[in-house]
């Protein structure tokens, strides 16, 4: 599934999506976890992350202090040096990558720090989880 085609299709129904998300935030249905899991499973039968890597190319993760410490240790760096070399503080005060695509994305779309990657990367796209209503604020 081509990421550009997904984006194009999404834009065609943008108004509908916004209305759906607004209603979802107001009153999440009881079967929301089940429904989201069904859609997640269906989509990921069609998407091969290693063929795509669009998330790593276009959307950088937030780095927590634990992420920074863990990754810096893996790279044999001090956390401050890791932050200086790879991160910047964004307008919300979050630690994010200085550049995109992700510095740790290899040419074959694998992650060079996969075993110690940030929590945001491990949980992305945040749809394979219970209590999905807890992240409604992300939309």
User: Would you say the pTM of this structure is higher than 0.85?
Assistant: no
Per-residue pLDDT of the chain (139 residues; tens, 9 = 90+): 677 777 787 788 778 877 777 776 666 677 777 777 787 778 778 777 888 888 899 988 999 999 999 999 999 999 999 999 999 999 989 999 999 999 999 999 999 999 999 998 988 776 666 666 566 555 4
pLDDT number for residue 42 = 83
Domain boundaries, the chain: 3-138
Relative to beta strand 87-89, strand 62-63 is unpaired
pLDDT number for residue 129 = 64
DSSP string of the chain, one letter each residue: --HHHHHHHHHHTHHHHHHHHHHHHHS--TTHHHHHHHHHHHHHHH--HHHH-HHHHH-PPEE-HHHHHHHHHHTT--HHHHHHHHEEE-TTS-EEESSSS-TTB-TTS-BTTGGG--HHHHHTTS-SSS-GGGGGGG-
């Amino acid at each position: 599934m081509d990421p550009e085609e997904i984006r194009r299709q999404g834009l065609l129904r943008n108004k509908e999506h916004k209305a759906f998300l607004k209603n979802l935030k107001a009153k999440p249905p009881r079967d929301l976890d089940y429904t989201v899991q069904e859609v997640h499973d269906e989509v990921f039968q069609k998407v091969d992350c290693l063929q795509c890597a669009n998330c790593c190319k276009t959307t950088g993760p937030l780095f927590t202090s634990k992420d920074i410490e863990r990754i810096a240790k893996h790279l044999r760096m001090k956390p401050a040096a890791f932050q200086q070399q790879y991160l910047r503080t964004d307008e919300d005060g979050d630690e994010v990558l200085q550049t995109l695509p992700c510095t740790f994305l290899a040419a074959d779309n694998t992650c060079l720090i996969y075993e110690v990657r940030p929590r945001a990367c491990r949980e992305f796209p945040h749809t394979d989880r219970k209590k999905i209503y807890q992240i409604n604020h992300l939309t």
